[in-house]
Amino acid sequence: MYNFEFTKPKTVEEAATAMAAEGAQALGGGQTLIPTMKQRLASPEVLVSMTDIEGMVGVAAHGNTLTIGGATTHAQVAADAADLFPGLAALASGIGDPAVRNRGTIGGSLANNDPAACYPAGALGSGATVTTNKRDITADDYFQGMFETALDEDEIITSVSFPIPEKANYQKFEQPASRFALVGVFAAKFNDGVRVAVTGASNVGVHRWTEAETALNSNFSESAIDGMSGNANDMIADLHGSAKYRAHLVGVLTRRAVAGCG
Amino acid sequence: MPTITMNVNGAPVSVEVENRTVLSSALREGLGMTGTHIGCDTSQCGACVVHVNGKAVKSCTIFALEADGADVETIEGQAHADGSLNVLQQAFQDHHGLQCGFCTPGMIMSAAALLKENPKPTEAEIRDYLEGNICRCTGYQGIVDAIMAASGQSTAIAAE
């Protein structure tokens, strides 16, 4: 990979200053960015490490909201959110493999917004709020297509706040080689409605499946969405699965997620 | 070039690195500790797994600068001081947990991390934990047997 300047700020303010430099890029756990840089698909001039910034690591519940620091690893979320928001902890415990989960961070995953990543489904399916050094962004506004988000180039995800649902479940059908989601579905039931978010499947990236939400709002059961599938016109088609297959999986996994809510 | 300091297997070391140097290269080329293997160099095969501050990580996918000041454990630190194999290493030998041995440093370090978290894992838990470690020789059964044996549990295929 090409060399770069490296900086490891201690505060969000210092990080924001460093991110203002030309060609600066935030470095979370680097589990996507480092392989990407090795392939020279990315060549940032300055890397700003997020791993040692005060107040950006941790999991805390305040009332019915779970707040996760932007530099918190998947392994820590899996452990520390297990009692507070088990559906989200289970999602975190299935990302990558144990070594990847010990480095990869929620802020890194959401900032990258890989169309097959797990966290975007958890955030959108929960109606989370992404907090940056500049503002709060609701998940509905945050995700804007494959690898596209509402973040400005120099913006840093400092934390993510999740409303804790009555119940939630994430189901992932893994692409067997990469173990990324061929299709993943996060379903969450709140007292004021159901949210269903789909990752991996679509050309538009993570998105809500509103038809299923409507059906589940009146009857939160597998039978309410019996026979339904996603819209094949929007789905990714590649050697791992046709658009029709992915659309079918969206239906199957949503039913499994609803069943998994118990 | 920046110099980092680490405690590697309990011994303080300093090594000069470039900003872009990953930990696996710092260990192998900077410190001459070639026990940590680089298989895929893309974070998939797990041959390079070491522990950084007690956590298993893929050393090909962490910059050496991020390990500055860290406690690092590698395969070289696993055997006893007299050179005899530790329980896990001995179990790998006894249960045919390796053939060519290329993946073994990563397998041992991942398995050690597993047993620290979960001293009596089930076979399913072992297979799940080793998801990020790839072996092309053994078909994994010997590796799973070795970890079962090292954790004091009976194995599906008894050692001869």
Query: Of A163, A183, A198, which marks where a domain is finished?
Result: A163
Where residue B160 falls among pLDDT bands split at 50, 70, 90? Answer: very low
Probe site for chain A from B131, B133, B135, B147 (most A CB atoms < 10 A): B131
DSSP 8-state symbol, B40: S
Question: What's the sign of the alpha-carbon dihedral A146, A152, A154, A158?
Answer: negative
Q: Do residues B67 and B111 both lie within one domain?
A: no
Task: Indicate if A196 and A155 belong to the same structural domain.
Answer: no
Tell me, what CATH number does A11's domain have?
A: 3.30.43.10
- Evaluate if residue A150 carries a pLDDT over 90: yes
Tokens of A36: 């990407």
Instruction: Find the chain B residues whose C-beta atoms sit closer than 8 A to any C-beta of A.
Output: 2, 18-20, 22, 41-43, 46, 49, 55-58, 61-63, 65-66, 110, 113-114, 129, 131-133
Chain B positions touching A47 (Cβ under 8 A) are 19, 63
Q: Domain holding B125: CATH number?
A: 1.10.150.120
> Which chain B residues are Cβ-neighbours of A98 within 8 angstroms?
56, 110, 113-114, 129, 131-132
Q: What is the pLDDT of residue A145?
A: 94
Is residue B158 scored above 70 in pLDDT? no
Phi, psi of A30 (to 5 degrees): 75, 10
What DSSP state is assigned to residue A165?
Answer: P
Helix axes B87-94, B104-117, angle to 10 degrees: 120
Distance (Å) from the alpha carbon of B80 to chain A's nearest alpha carbon: 25
pLDDT confidence of A137, banded at 50, 70, 90?
very high
Long-range contacts, B135-143 (Cβ 8 Å, 24+): B135/B98, B135/B103, B135/B107, B136/B100, B136/B103, B137/B98, B137/B99, B137/B100, B137/B103, B138/B96, B138/B97, B138/B98, B138/B99, B142/B92, B142/B95, B142/B96, B142/B97, B142/B98, B143/B92, B143/B97, B143/B98, B143/B107, B143/B111
| Listed residue (A27, A36, A24, A31) closest to A152, CA to CA | A24
DSSP string, B91-135: HHHHTT--SS-SSHHHHHHHHHHHHHH-SS--HHHHHHHGGG---
B31 plus B92 within the same structural domain: no
- Give pLDDT, residue B51: 98
Rounded Cα distance between A186 and B50, Å, is 33
- The pLDDT of residue A133 is 97
Q: Using a CB-CB distance cutoff of 8 angstroms, which residues of chain B are in contact with residue A3? A: 18-20
Instruction: Check whether residue A244 and residue A183 sit in a common domain.
Output: yes
Q: What is the pLDDT of residue A177?
A: 83
B77, B109, B142 — which closes off a domain?
Answer: B77
- Tell me: do B67 and B121 sit in the same domain: no
Contact criterion met (CB < 8 Å) for A4 and B131: no
10 Å CB burial of residue A17 (0-12, 13-18, 19+) is middle
d(CA A17, CA A34): 23
Split at pLDDT 50, 70, 90, the class of A54 is confident
Residue A173: CA count within 13 A, CB half-sphere: 22
The residue segments making up the domain with residue B57 are 3-77
| Per-residue pLDDT band at B103 (split at 50, 70, 90) | very high
For residue B87, give how far its alpha carbon lies from the nearest alpha carbon of chain A (Å).
Answer: 22
Per-residue model confidence (pLDDT) at position B11: 97
Residue B155 lies in a domain: no
Contact B65 A103 (CB under 8 A): no
With an 8 Å Cβ cutoff, is A98 touching chain B?
yes
User: Above 70 in pLDDT, residue B87?
Assistant: yes
Q: What total number of domains does chain B contain?
A: 2
CA angle A127, A185, A146 (to 5 degrees): 75
Instruction: Verify that A75 and A152 share a domain, yes or no.
Output: yes
8 Å CB contact of B114 and A30: no
Cβ of A98 within 8 Å of Cβ of B65? The answer is no
Quick one: A210 and A251 in the same domain? yes
User: What mean pLDDT is reported for chain B?
Assistant: 95
Q: Is the pLDDT of residue A140 over 50?
A: yes
Q: What is the CATH number of the domain that holds A96?
A: 3.30.465.10
Domain with residue A202: its CATH number is 3.30.390.50
State percent of chain B over pLDDT 70: 97
Q: How many residues does chain B have?
A: 160
Claim to verify: residue A73 and residue A159 sit in the same structural domain: yes
Q: Return d(Cα A126, Cα A84) in angstroms, integer.
A: 14
User: pLDDT at position A42, please?
Assistant: 95
Same structural domain, A40 and A106: no
For residue A221, give its domain range: 167-260
